[in-house]
Structure 1
Amino acid sequence: MRALTRTIVSVTAAVGIAAGGLAGAGAAFADSASATQSSVSAQPAVAAAVNNLGLTSAEAKELQTWLRTYWEYNDDIDGQLGTNSWKAMQRYLRGAGDYNDSIDGIVGPNTIKALQRVLKRSFGYTGAIDGIAGAGTKAAFKRFAVA
């Protein structure tokens, strides 16, 4: 019975290939995959526009209000920590003496390291100053945001 099944499958595959059905489908798939790849690679890479680092919208609004009052944040209080929120946060971190990189609003490793140093001093962060926003960093950042 197994031999018969194998024979039927082999013959069916051979007939399909000979008829061009599978070959045509393979070529059509390859063409559409190439087109998709070309259109995707033509798109520029962009950083995430919003990074709340674990804050809820309400917590982020509290932080934005504080940043507006003290660190020249001049955008909407919308609970979404975007580029302008992070620029203001970087100004705060520079003022605290923990950040010496560019004020670009990008939440990269240097911004996270500076934040971790502040959180370690006053907000119960006990982890490494490693530039990675893990669970400990996010928990201490929540305490910072609502303080």
Structure 2
Amino acid sequence: MRPNALGTTLAGLVTVVGLTVGSVATAGTSFAATATTAQTTAVAQPAAVTATENFGLTTAEAKNVQDFLAYHWGYTGAIDGQLGTNSWKAFQRCLATYWGYTGAIDGDPGPNTIKALQRLLKDSYGYTGAIDGIAGSGTRAAFKRFAA
């Protein structure tokens, strides 16, 4: 080999080795989670109830409910017409006190919350359906009367 060719070859070899070492050194910092790791992480996170459930109420009607909850049941959130977790926690306190709700005060308006709500609505707001935990049209109509 000629001296220039040898120098060029050595320079190229040093460059390749340098790039390889640099790639290996940064491999740890550019780690991407595998699908299994991402799934495990997602499962490990606690689920939070954050959805709004107005059961057919308008924003104005839901604000009326929030006013009632603030006045009587310790609701301290915004009067924004969105019955979210904190609104339903306050409502569950009401339902637990008077209407047979025995579930967790978790802000999730699931079937047990709806059954207690149906008992309240049957007592004073014209609900005539079954206490079935399903917020059907009869439950929604009576809930509108409650919110008026």
TM-score between the two structures when normalised by the length of structure 1: 0.68
Which has the higher Rg, Structure 1 or Structure 2?
2
1:30-65 CA-to-partner distances (Å, cap 9, x unmatched) read: xxxxxxxx6xx9466765610001000000001101
Native 8 Å contact 1:98 1:118 kept in 2: no
Equivalent position to 2:132, from 130, 133, 147: 130
Aligned partner of 1:145 in structure 2 is 147
Q: Distance in 2 between matches of 1:96 and 1:72?
A: 15
Aligned partner of 1:53 in structure 2 is 55
Aligned AA for 1:128?
A
Q: Distance in 1 between matches of 2:59 and 2:116?
A: 23
Native 8 Å contact 1:120 1:126 kept in 2: yes
Native 8 Å contact 1:86 1:107 kept in 2: yes
User: Could you tell me how far 1:96 is from its partner in structure 2?
Assistant: 1.0
Matched, 1:79 2:67: no
Q: Distance in 2 between matches of 1:82 and 1:126?
A: 26
Matching of residues 53-132 of structure 1 within 5 Å: 53-132=55-134
% of aligned pairs identical?
62
User: Could you tell me how far 1:97 is from its partner in structure 2?
Assistant: 3.6
* Number of residue pairs matched by the alignment: 108
Q: Distance in 2 between matches of 1:122 and 1:140?
A: 9
Q: Distance in 2 between matches of 1:46 and 1:92?
A: 22
Runs of 4+ in 1 over 3 A off after TM superposition: 41-48
Aligned AA for 1:103?
I
Native 8 Å contact 1:71 1:92 kept in 2: yes
